[in-house]
Structures are given as structure tokens and as C-alpha cells.
Structure 1
């Protein structure tokens, strides 16, 4: 059986959609914090099991009989290292034979602050003795498209990425890659640097947004501190605002760029272009 942690999350749901194309539902285990929120998965014949990243005992129970585990990184930045260690310990106790982990693009030398917890998890996997693969995901296009509505309203898109090239792809593309790796063989020991085929800058994004929407939107590049302050001023939690600003600053240093085309090779098709993602959100 194949288990997916965070199965009701944005990425997890998309992974399951892809897996159901090739794997029988009764061979899938959705590990979720709140089973009541996974009723739709149960109705498809998927085994829904309660497992909390903060509670190793629940995870050990949830992973009984599981051969392969897709460990989708926790959304709780700052708590990930301990939470992921709980999952790895539980997997070892349950006899899981392979783990694929959604890490960060070029985690071992990334300028993004987010890399620290991902590297800690990669090290924990190496120490566990369980065969594993690293899915080092680049940026989700959706991370930037969330700013499209206010940009259209105010005519300005703010950020701190300068002219850094961002090789982003939609979550669905990364989900397809994760589903392929966890459902097929031959991935043990592999490190996959996953990113969109065609990189763009935030200026490029804004130009495409203006073209498709017919509204004039300009890109305003701020310092990391000013961008964080602007995000906080519109109600974003301080931790999230600081993380987003740090990530933009990392993008300016090339932290979100990759041109290996590993993602499109894994999914067997080109990654979804930015123009297509903008068209969809508009």
C-alpha cells in the first residue's frame, strides 16, 4: 500500500487525483489530521487514517501495512523538523520500505530561509536507513498568483525578487511528479530538482498579466524589509510575511531558478506555462 501524509492539503489532494489513474483506491492510505474532512476520499474507497505530525503514536498506527510513503512537508514552518522526524520514526517502526519527501529546490545550497528545515529532514531520512527519494520542489506558480486580485485592483504588483528568474510550475505539475515517483520503481537514492521549464521574472509575470487582463499593472520592487512590512500591513501574519519576503529575496539571488527540466521529464510532458496559469485565474 501507498500512504500520503497531508492528504487533504492542496498538494495531497492533487497527488491522490493522479494516483487514482494508475493505482486502485484500496491500495491508497490517506493520512490526515482530521478524518472528518476526508469523507470524499473515503467515498472513493481510499483508506483514511488519522495521523498527526505532532503525535508519533498516531502516525505509527496509520502506517501499518504501508510499503511506500509520500511525506508531504508540513505547512507549519518552524515546526517542520520535529514533525517530519515523527513521521520518519513512525515509518521505521511500521516497517515502511520507501519514502519520497517533498523538499525544496536546491535545498542543500538554497539562499531561502526555508531550506534549513528541509535539509534537517533530508539528513533525518539519510540517518533512518529507509530507502528514500527527494522531490525538491521549486516554487508553486499559485504562490504568486494569489497576488493577482489586489494587483489588478491597485494597478501595482509588489515584491522583492528583483530580476531573479523564477522557474515555477503549478501544484498540479509537482503532484503529477510525486504520484509518478511514489507509484513506480527505481527512485531510491534519487534527488530530483523539480521546477518549471520556462523561468520568468516578476516583471515578466506583470507584463503577461497586463496583456491578458487589458489593465495596466506595474511591478514595484521593494527591499525585503519593506515588502515584509507591506504584507503585514494588509493583515498577513508576521511569520508568513517574513517568510514570503525572505523567499523573494532568495529568488533575487537565483534561489528559485533551475533549468534541468527534470520535472517535465518525470511527468512526460512540458510543465504548464505561466500564461496558461494566468489565463486560468483570470
Structure 2
């Protein structure tokens, strides 16, 4: 039995979809905070169980009978470590045999503000004694392509990444990596640094949006503190604005660049090109 946490999230749904192409639905468990949001998964034969990182008792029940668990990291920055530790403890109590965790690219050396919680979760996994695999995921292409409407309207993309290159890949690529690990024996102890095949700069992203849309779009690079203040001005909560501006500073330092090709090798195909992701994003803009 394979369980996927956060199964109604963007990544979780893609993992479930791809898992069902490889294993029977009767072997897949969707662990979700709100089962009502997973009715479509239940209709496909997937077993839906409530499991809330904030309610450890629900995790104890959700993980019963599970052999392999995909622990998709929580999206609640600042609460992640406590939530992940609760999930790991529940998995150990339930006798889970293997945990695959979605971490951060180069978490052990990264200076990104997101890294410490991921690295601490990795240490908690090691301390648990449960065999594990680490999927150190890079940035999603969708971080940039799902909200292109504003860029088209104002003719500008904002950031603080300078000329740093971003080895982003599509969520579907990272989902395929998770499925490959979940369905292939011998993954225990492996650490995968996962990133897209063709790193790009923000200026190159803007040029691609401009090329495909036929509208002039430029990249305006700001100092980190000014970018953070601009994001706050857009209504983003302070911690989110700080995290995004810090991430761009990390990009400028090369923190999200990677040329290892591990993602391509793991999924057995090229990763999604930037041009394809921009094309999809423009259709929804």
C-alpha cells in the first residue's frame, strides 16, 4: 500500500494521477486534510483517509497498513518541522516501511530561508530509523508561469534574482520522479537532487513571455529589500514577501541552478521546457 500526503494539493494530485497508471487504485491511499475535496479520487477507487499534520491522532489512523509513504512537505512555512516530525512519528508507530520526502534542492548547503526546515526534517528521518529517500526538488516552473496576467498587463516581471539561473521543472516532472521512486525497489537511502534540464534567467523568462504573447515584457531587477517591500505593497503577508525576496537573493547566488541531470535520468525523459510552460501559462492568463 502506497500513501500520499497532501493528495489534493497541486503536486499530490499529479502524483496520484501518475501512480494510477502504474499500480491498481486499491493499492493507493490519499491522505488529505479535507476528504470532501477528494471525492473525485474516491470515485477512481483510491482509498481516501483524513490526515492532518496539525492533528497527529488522525495521522496514526491514516498510516495504518501503509508500506510506503510519500511525505509531501507542508506548505505552512515556520510550522513545517513540527508537522513533519508528527508525521514521521505516526509513520513509525504504524509500521511504515519506507518514507519518500519532498525536500529542497541542495538542502544541506542551501542558503535559502526555506532550507533549515527541510534539512531538519531530513535529520528527523535519519533519526527515526525508517528507511527513506530524499527528493530534493528545485523550483516549479509554475511558480513563474501560472500568474502571467500581471506581467502582460504591466509589461514587466519583477524580481531580485539578477542574472542567476533557475533550473526549474514542471510539477508533473517532480511528480514523475516521486512515482518512479515509489514504484521502483532499492530506493532506500538515496538522495536525488532534482532540477530542470535548461536553467534560465528571469530576463530570459521575460523574453520568452514577450515572444509568445507578442507583447513587450521586460524584467525589472530590484534590490532585495525593495523587492520585499514591493511584494508587501501587493498585499502579500510579511513572511511570504520575505521568503520570496530571500529566494531571489538565493537565485542570484546560484542556489537554484543545477546541471546534474538527475531528474531527467530518474524519470527517463527530458524535463518540461520553459517555452512549453509559458505557452500553458499564457493560455490561462
Identify the TM-score tier after normalising by the shorter chain: over 0.9
1:113-152 paired onto structure 2 within 5 Å: 113-152=113-152
Tell me which residue corresponds to 1:260. Answer: 260
Tell me which residue corresponds to 2:217. Answer: 217
Tell me which residue corresponds to 2:244. Answer: 244
Flag structure 2 segments of 5+ consecutive residues without an equivalent: none
Separation of aligned partners in 2, 1:50 and 1:155: 44
Separation of aligned partners in 1, 2:182 and 2:239: 32
SS at match of 2:108: helix
Instruction: Say whether the 8 Å CA contact 2:147–2:281 is kept in structure 1.
Output: no
Corresponding pairs, count:
282
Instruction: Say whether the 8 Å CA contact 2:4–2:69 is kept in structure 1.
Output: yes
1:50-199 paired onto structure 2 within 5 Å: 50-199=50-199
Separation of aligned partners in 1, 2:215 and 2:154: 10
CA deviation after TM superposition for structure 1 residue 141, in Å: 0.6
**Deviation readout 1:146-190 (Å, 9 max, x if unpaired):** 442111100111001000010001101100111111122111000
SS at match of 1:219: strand
SS at match of 1:208: helix
Q: 1:146 to 1:240 in 2, by over 3 A?
A: farther
Separation of aligned partners in 2, 1:229 and 1:152: 22
Instruction: Say whether the 8 Å CA contact 1:111–1:253 is kept in structure 2.
Output: no
**Deviation readout 1:73-94 (Å, 9 max, x if unpaired):** 0010000000000000000000
Separation of aligned partners in 2, 1:145 and 1:276: 10
Separation of aligned partners in 1, 2:237 and 2:185: 41
Tell me the TM-score normalised to structure 2 length. 0.98
Tell me which residue corresponds to 1:227. Answer: 227
Tell me which residue corresponds to 1:44. Answer: 44
Flag structure 1 segments of 5+ consecutive residues without an equivalent: none
Instruction: Say whether the 8 Å CA contact 2:146–2:281 is kept in structure 1.
Output: no
Instruction: Say whether the 8 Å CA contact 1:102–1:137 is kept in structure 2.
Output: yes
- RMSD between superposed Cα atoms in Å: 0.7
Instruction: Say whether the 8 Å CA contact 1:147–1:157 is kept in structure 2.
Output: no
